[in-house]
A and B are shown apart, each in its own frame.
Chain A
């Protein structure tokens, strides 16, 4: 992808269709995590969820109460911003069967969209960072070192995307 640049009160960038497709897929996976939190079927001892929904109090009792009262609202707010990014990507992607597969996509967001993207890019990056740092025995069986190296490249790519968006917004 190319670095974000300022565009009116928002920002714009160009990325390859395969990059947009990958980011949309990752975004949808993170959305599923947040939905699991709302449905109270999230495994809170999972390292990724523990990082995304950290303990708010030293006291276990207060922490559990905070989690009970606030985690659905936090999840819903994250769903709002992640959905914004995923929908922007899906809208920019060529339709199935379209022959412009290797074309660069132009993505432009207004000020509110830029804030949503900033948060969503950081969130996906955080999830992948935690996953790639986990003991391999705790990951899906069959995950190889090459898979993990590829994911680490994605973490770097996301750092570039979020970092240049931050710079563009100033």
Chain B
């Protein structure tokens, strides 16, 4: 359960996405996970547990919300951090978007 395997992507993204920082107007952003009827549910749960260090129960709950509502906010915080999460979820094959929380 170490986060080491995610490091190569996170290191390169920190360099690539860091260029956004200059125009980052701050504020809070959410990482939104979208329902994906194709991907196996236990895989989605596992990805959420590993990336966000959620308990199995929390990851299951968020996955269920995405299935039921079509989407679920799975993380919130600074823009750059949420962009890393979205990129990581994309790399894992999930559909995720960023949304500003305080427009």
Contacts and interface: CB of A to CB of B under 8 A. Distances in A.
Contact of B46 (A65, A69, A72, A166): A166
Contacts of B98: 56-57, 62, 66
A152 interface: no
A62 B8 CA distance: 24
A62 to B, nearest CB: 8
B73 to A, nearest CB: 14
Interface residues of B, number: 27
A118 B43 CA distance: 8
Contacts of A66: 83, 86-87, 98
Interface of A: 51-58, 62, 65-66, 69-70, 72-74, 76-78, 80, 112, 115, 118-119, 122-123, 125-126, 129, 159, 162-163, 166-167, 169
A77 B38 CA distance: 22
Contacts of A118: 43, 46
B40 A166 contact: yes
Nearest to B15: A73
